[in-house]
C-alpha cells in the first residue's frame, strides 16, 4: 500500500465524486414522503449498506443505520489506503470520534440510559469498534467504563481515572468531559510535530476547535451564578491561539473583563461573547463556520492531508444532512423547514 | 572536445531519464488510486502514464545533436 498523497488523494477524489450535489438535495426535499426516499436509497451510493440494513431493521432505523455504516466504512477505507505519515495523521483525526463516543457513553451511563439507547448516540468511526462500544455501554458506572478501557490498553483510560474521584464526589459529568477534551488535545499536540509540515492544516483545525470550546466555556461560565473563582482555570483548554490561560481568567474579573472582551473585537467570536443570554443559534453558527472552513480544505494542497480533511467533513455532513432529510420525511415535516436545518458548503 | 561532447550527451540523457522516471512515478501512483475508484478510466491513465516519455525522447534528440556537432 502506498503512503504517497498522489495515490491517496486520487482515491479521495474518486470518493468525493460520489458525494451529493446541491441539486440532489433539492430533489430529495421535493419527495412526497418517506417511502420514495427509501426507493432513492436503492440507487444511491448508500445502496450496499441499505440492502444490509433492511435485513436487520425497518423504516427510519434502517435508513439511519445504513448512513452511519457507510460513513464508518469510509473512515475504515481512509485508514486502509494510507500508510506511514498520512496513516498516522488520519488516525489522529479519527480519534475524535472515539472522544465523542466516549462522552456519549459516559453521558448515557450517568443518565441511567439502557445500553441500546446509548448505542443510538454513538458513531463508531474511530478506533473503538461497535462491539467495544456495546461493551462500554453495558457498564454499570463510569468506574466500570474506565476499567474496561484500561483492560483494552486504551489511553483514554487516563482522563477518566483523573476525573473519576471528583465525579464520584459531586456526581457532575463536566469535569470528566473536560478532562477528556484536555487529554485528547494534549495528545494531538504531542504527536503532530512528529509529522512535520504535513500536520500544519491539522494544527490549525485543532487550534480553532479549542478556541471555540474556550469561547463557549467563557460564555457559559459568565451565565453561571454560583461560579467559584478558583474553579475557573479548570475550564480552560490549552492549545488555542485566541486566549491564554491568563486572558481566560481575566475575562471574569470585573475590571479586566471588558478589556479582554474589547481585545477580541477583531475575532469572529466577539458578537457571540458580547451578546446577552445563551444563544443556541449563535453557537451553531460558530460550529457551522468551522465546518465550512474545514470543507474548503478540499481545495487545498493536492499533495497533502488537506484533501482528506475536506472530504471527511463533507462526507460527515452529507450523512448528517441525509439523516435530517430522512427524519423530516418520516415525521412529515415540510421541505422548506428541513432545508433550514441542512448544512451545505 | 570529445570528452565534453560525451559528457553533455550523457547529461542530456541522464537528467531527462530521471525527470521521466520521477514524473511517471507520481502519475503512476495517482493513476493507481484513480483506477481503484473508477476502473473504467484505465485507457486514459495509460496515455497519461506514457506522456512523460516525451521528456526522455527530447533528451535523446538533444544528445544526438550534441554528439553530431562539429
pLDDT tens per residue across span A172-195: 898 899 999 999 999 999 988 877
The reported pLDDT for the residue numbered A276 is 67
Angle in degrees, CA B40, A10, A69, rounded to 5:
85
Query: Interface of chain A against chain B, CB under 8 Å?
Result: 2, 4, 6-11, 13-15, 17, 81
Which among B29, B37, B38 has CB closest to A6?
Answer: B29
Category of A97 on φ-ψ map: left (φ > 0), alpha (ψ -120 to 50) or beta? alpha
Which DSSP category does A235 fall into? G
Closest-CA distance, A130 to chain B, in angstroms, reads 27
Residue A277 is predicted with a pLDDT of 57
Residues of A in contact with B26 (CB under 8 A): 4, 6
pLDDT at A170 over 70: yes
For position A345, what pLDDT does the model report?
65
Query: Cα–Cα distance between B6 and A329 in angstroms, integer?
Result: 76
A336 to each of A28, A33, A174, A197, A284, how far by Cα in Å? 12, 14, 37, 44, 19
* Average pLDDT over all residues of chain A: 90
Residues in chain B within 8 Å Cβ distance of A13? 34, 37
Q: Cβ–Cβ of A7/B37 closer than 8 Å?
A: no
Q: How confident is the model at residue A343 (pLDDT cuts 50, 70, 90)?
A: confident
Q: What confidence tier does A1 reach under pLDDT thresholds 50, 70, 90?
A: very low
Helix segments in B1-70, DSSP class H: 2-37, 42-50, 53-68
Q: Does pLDDT of A198 surpass 80?
A: no
Pairs of CB atoms within 8 A across A/B? 40
Residues of chain B contacting A9 with CB distance shorter than 8 Å: 30, 33
Which residue in the set B27, B29, B37 is minimally distant from A14, CB to CB?
Answer: B37
Question: Which chain B residues in 26-45 lie under 8 Å from chain A, judged by CB atoms?
Answer: 26-27, 29-34, 36-38
Higher pLDDT, A28 or A227: A28
Q: Is the pLDDT of residue A261 over 50?
A: yes
The span from the CA of B66 to the CA of B58, in Å, is 12
Share of chain A above pLDDT 90, in %: 60
What is d(CA A78, CA A312) in angstroms, rounded to the nearest whole number? 9
**pTM, entire model:** 0.87
The pLDDT of residue A122: 93
Q: How many angstroms separate the CA atoms of A326 and A84, rounded?
A: 39
Non-local CB neighbours of A33 within 8 Å, separated by 6+ positions: A329, A332
pLDDT of residue A106: 95
pLDDT at A236: 94
pLDDT of residue A250: 93
CA distances from A95 to A133, A147, A182, A241, B1 (A): 14, 19, 14, 22, 64
Which chain B residues are closer than 8 Å to A10 by Cβ?
A: 29-34, 37
Q: How confident is the model at residue A3 (pLDDT cuts 50, 70, 90)?
A: low
Residue B46: predicted pLDDT: 94
Instruction: Name the residue among A7, A13, A15 with its Cβ closest to that of B32.
Output: A7
Residue A223 pLDDT class (50, 70, 90 cuts): confident
Are A81 and B33 in contact (CB < 8 Å)?
yes
Contact status, residue A27 vs residue A326, Cβ threshold 8 Å: no
- The tens digit of pLDDT for each residue in A98-144 reads 999 999 999 999 999 999 999 989 999 999 999 999 999 999 999 99
- CA A14/CA A8 separation, integer angstroms: 10
Q: Which ipTM score applies to this complex? A: 0.80
- Ranges A203-207, A239-243, A255-259, A280-284: which has the least confidence: A280-284
Structure confidence at residue B30 as a pLDDT band (50, 70, 90): very high
pLDDT level of residue A2 (50, 70, 90 thresholds): very low
Amino acid at each position: 500500500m502506498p503512503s504517497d498523497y498522489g495515490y491517496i488523494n486520487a482515491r479521495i477524489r474518486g470518493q468525493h465524486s460520489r458525494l451529493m450535489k446541491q441539486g440532489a438535495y433539492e430533489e430529495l426535499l421535493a419527495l412526497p414522503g418517506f417511502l420514495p426516499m427509501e426507493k432513492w436509497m436503492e440507487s444511491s451510493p448508500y445502496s450496499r449498506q441499505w440492502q444490509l440494513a433492511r435485513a436487520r431493521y425497518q423504516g427510519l432505523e434502517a435508513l439511519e443505520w445504513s448512513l452511519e455504516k457507510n460513513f464508518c466504512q469510509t473512515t475504515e477505507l481512509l485508514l486502509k489506503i494510507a500508510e506511514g505519515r498520512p496513516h498516522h495523521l488520519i488516525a489522529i483525526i479519527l480519534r475524535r470520534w472515539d472522544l465523542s463516543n466516549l462522552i456519549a457513553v459516559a453521558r448515557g451511563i450517568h443518565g441511567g440510559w439502557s445500553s441500546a439507547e446509548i448505542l443510538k448516540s454513538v458513531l463508531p468511526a474511530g478506533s473503538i469498534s461497535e462491539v467495544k462500544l456495546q461493551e462500554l455501554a453495558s457498564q454499570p458506572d463510569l468506574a466500570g467504563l474506565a476499567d474496561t478501557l484500561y483492560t483494552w490498553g486504551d489511553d483514554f483510560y487516563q482522563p477518566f481515572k483523573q476525573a473519576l474521584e471528583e465525579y464520584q464526589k459531586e456526581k457532575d459529568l463536566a469535569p470528566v468531559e473536560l478532562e477528556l477534551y484536555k487529554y485528547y488535545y494534549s495528545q494531538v499536540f504531542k504527536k503532530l510535530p512528529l509529522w512535520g509540515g504535513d500536520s500544519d492544516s491539522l494544527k490549525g483545525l485543532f487550534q480553532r476547535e479549542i478556541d471555540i470550546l474556550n469561547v463557549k466555556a467563557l460564555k457559559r461560565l459568565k451565565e453561571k451564578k454560583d461560579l467559584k473563582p478558583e474553579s475557573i482555570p479548570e475550564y480552560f483548554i490549552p492549545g488555542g491561539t485566541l486566549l491564554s490561560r491568563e486572558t481566560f481568567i481575566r475575562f471574569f474579573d470585573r475590571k479586566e473583563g471588558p478589556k479582554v472582551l474589547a481585545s477580541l473585537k477583531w475575532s469572529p467570536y466577539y458578537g457571540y461573547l458580547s451578546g446577552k443570554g445563551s444563544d443556541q443559534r449563535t453557537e451553531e453558527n460558530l460550529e457551522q463556520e468551522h465546518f465550512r472552513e474545514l470543507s474548503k480544505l478540499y481545495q487545498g494542497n493536492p499533495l497533502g492531508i488537506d484533501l482528506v480533511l475536506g472530504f471527511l467533513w463533507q462526507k460527515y455532513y452529507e450523512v448528517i444532512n441525509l439523516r435530517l432529510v430522512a427524519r423530516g420525511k418520516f415525521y412529515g415535516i415540510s421541505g422548506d423547514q428541513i432545508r433550514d436545518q441542512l448544512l451545505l458548503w | 572536445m570529445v570528452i565534453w561532447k560525451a559528457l553533455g550527451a550523457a547529461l542530456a540523457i541522464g537528467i531527462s531519464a530521471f525527470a521521466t522516471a520521477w514524473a511517471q512515478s507520481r502519475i503512476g501512483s495517482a493513476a493507481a488510486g484513480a483506477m481503484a475508484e473508477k476502473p473504467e478510466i484505465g485507457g486514459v491513465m495509460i496515455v497519461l502514464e506514457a506522456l512523460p516519455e516525451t521528456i526522455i525522447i527530447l533528451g535523446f534528440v538533444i544528445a544526438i545533436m550534441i554528439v553530431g556537432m562539429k
